[in-house]
């Protein structure tokens, strides 16, 4: 393909099939999954649920509902990575959706906290398909120059899903109690099946040519070499930071707003939705800028620092201001999660992307399960105050900023070294 053709394609990227059909399909999958995984944040703020399962004041157990999910989620990603490489992302997306629906319906029938913990763990196992499925589709369908944009596009489903899910789940709970809401949501979980029946695992030859630059540009070309890369494990740590932050915030923000800031359940949903819409805008903007500058690690460092600077003062604002700003900060881990994927695509070839995804996202998610529980423990130790939990998240993101700066310096040395001119030319040519 000539340079003029590449430039023309770059200017029309948003009108290609991969952006008009494949990207929205991945976004929709993430929106539905996010509603499935985060409805528990509203349920634990519901007095009917707390009284029915005798959980009033049991903050560690309530935090465990999110942690149980992410233990299953994190461990299963390893297996889903192998399955996606073996059977393809489309089949795995459909299989996961069926399992989500069955387990959500099961959660509407629980009678004890132990039963709910088990169902949440299994729901996490089912939703572990998300990262391998979407990372594989990203690698197969998109050129390197678009990876940060498309990753932030479908990862923004985590904030959009919550923005949509909070008012929807709140309305369902007010209309049919928490059990009825979960039963109805199980039907919603089947909707991605209708979309992914028409999504191909890979583009055809003509579509691959139009992508102009989707070839492998990895420094480490095999999985065995990847495991020895310090950069890979830095990205894995950054994934832990991202997962710990987003899952803990999603779990505890509603409870904080109702119990500490005394915002009504109905008002809280609207305020969180506003914050999540702003978080989505933040995520998409950061992804676009990261692609334009090709400074993905540096972008990750800057958004982590933003979180560190803002999260503690956000608690000093008015109740409404605090609700919106804390919810907006969910855009930070949404951004870093997407950037981690874009960084990973530069390290491994497409034939191993799903398994590599299984390792870095699986490890990050498993270890991040400590976040919601530790936040709950801090609430108990501080007599119902939440500032210690938010300080914990600030420290985690400060460590994330250090990791991203380290990645940025490693990338700078690689591309400025005497051995890299040919590789730089290849990459720069593909980014046009």
- Collapsing DSSP to helix, strand or coil, 109 comes out as coil
- Collapsing DSSP to helix, strand or coil, 218 comes out as coil
Give the tens place of pLDDT for each residue, 142-165: 887 888 888 888 888 877 887 787
Domains and CATH numbers, the chain: 11-199+213-431 (1.20.1250.20)
Sign of CA dihedral 305, 261, 248, 191: negative
CA distance 406 to 329: 23
Reported confidence tier of residue 198, pLDDT bands at 50, 70, 90:
confident
pLDDT-above-70 percentage for the chain: 84
Reported confidence tier of residue 220, pLDDT bands at 50, 70, 90:
very low
Report, as an integer, the average pLDDT of 49-54: 81
The reported pLDDT for the residue numbered 99 is 93
What is the number of other CB atoms lying within 10 angstroms of the CB of residue 194? 11
pLDDT averaged over every residue in the chain: 80
What region does 112 belong to: left with phi over 0, alpha with psi -120 to 50, or beta?
beta
The reported pLDDT for the residue numbered 15 is 55
Q: Are 63 and 373 in contact (CB under 8 A)?
A: yes
Give the tens place of pLDDT for each residue, 229-273: 788 889 999 999 998 998 888 878 888 888 888 888 777 777 888
Report, as an integer, the average pLDDT of 180-195: 90
The reported pLDDT for the residue numbered 151 is 84
The reported pLDDT for the residue numbered 218 is 46
Give the tens place of pLDDT for each residue, 283-319: 888 888 888 888 888 999 999 999 999 999 998 989 8
């Amino acid at each position: 393909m000539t340079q003029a053709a590449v430039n023309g394609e770059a200017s029309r990227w948003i009108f290609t099939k991969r952006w008009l059909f494949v990207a929205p399909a991945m976004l929709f999958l993430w929106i539905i999954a996010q509603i499935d995984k985060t409805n528990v944040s509203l349920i634990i703020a519901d007095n009917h649920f707390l009284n029915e399962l005798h959980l009033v004041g049991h903050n560690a157990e309530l935090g465990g509902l999110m942690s149980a999910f992410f233990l299953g989620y994190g461990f299963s990603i390893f297996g889903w990575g192998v399955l996606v490489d073996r059977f393809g992302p489309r089949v795995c997306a459909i299989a996961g959706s069926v399992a989500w629906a069955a387990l959500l319906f099961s959660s509407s029938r629980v009678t004890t906290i132990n039963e709910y913990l088990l169902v949440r763990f299994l729901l996490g196992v089912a939703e572990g398909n998300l990262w391998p499925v979407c990372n594989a589709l990203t690698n197969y369908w998109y050129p390197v120059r678009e990876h940060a944009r498309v990753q932030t596009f479908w990862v923004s489903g985590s904030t959009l899903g919550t923005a949509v899910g909070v008012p929807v789940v709140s309305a369902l709970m007010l209309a049919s109690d928490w059990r009825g809401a979960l039963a109805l949501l199980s039907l919603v979980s089947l909707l991605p099946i209708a979309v992914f029946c028409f999504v191909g695992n890979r583009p055809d030859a003509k579509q691959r040519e139009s992508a102009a630059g989707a070839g492998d540009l990895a420094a480490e070309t095999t999985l065995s070499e990847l495991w020895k890369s310090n950069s890979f494990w830095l990205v894995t740590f950054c994934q832990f930071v991202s997962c710990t932050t987003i899952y803990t915030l999603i779990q505890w923000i509603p409870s904080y707003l109702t119990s500490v800031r005394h915002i009504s359940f109905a008002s809280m949903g609207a305020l969180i939705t506003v914050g999540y819409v702003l978080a989505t805008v933040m995520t998409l903007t950061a992804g676009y800028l990261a692609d334009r500058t090709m400074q993905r690690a540096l972008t990750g460092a800057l958004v982590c620092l933003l979180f560190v600077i803002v999260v503690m003062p956000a608690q000093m604002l008015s109740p409404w201001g605090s609700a919106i700003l804390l919810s907006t900060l969910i855009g930070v881990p949404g951004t870093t999660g997407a950037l981690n994927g874009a960084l990973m695509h530069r390290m491994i070839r497409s034939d191993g992307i799903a398994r590599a995804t299984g390792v870095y996202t699986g490890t990050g998610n498993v270890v991040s399960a400590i976040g919601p529980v530790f936040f709950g423990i801090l609430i108990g130790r501080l007599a119902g105050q939440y500032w210690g939990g938010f300080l914990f998240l600030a420290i985690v993101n400060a460590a994330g900023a250090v990791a991203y700066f380290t990645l940025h310096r490693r990338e700078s040395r690689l591309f400025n070294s005497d051995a890299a001119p040919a590789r730089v030319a290849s990459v720069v040519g593909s980014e046009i």
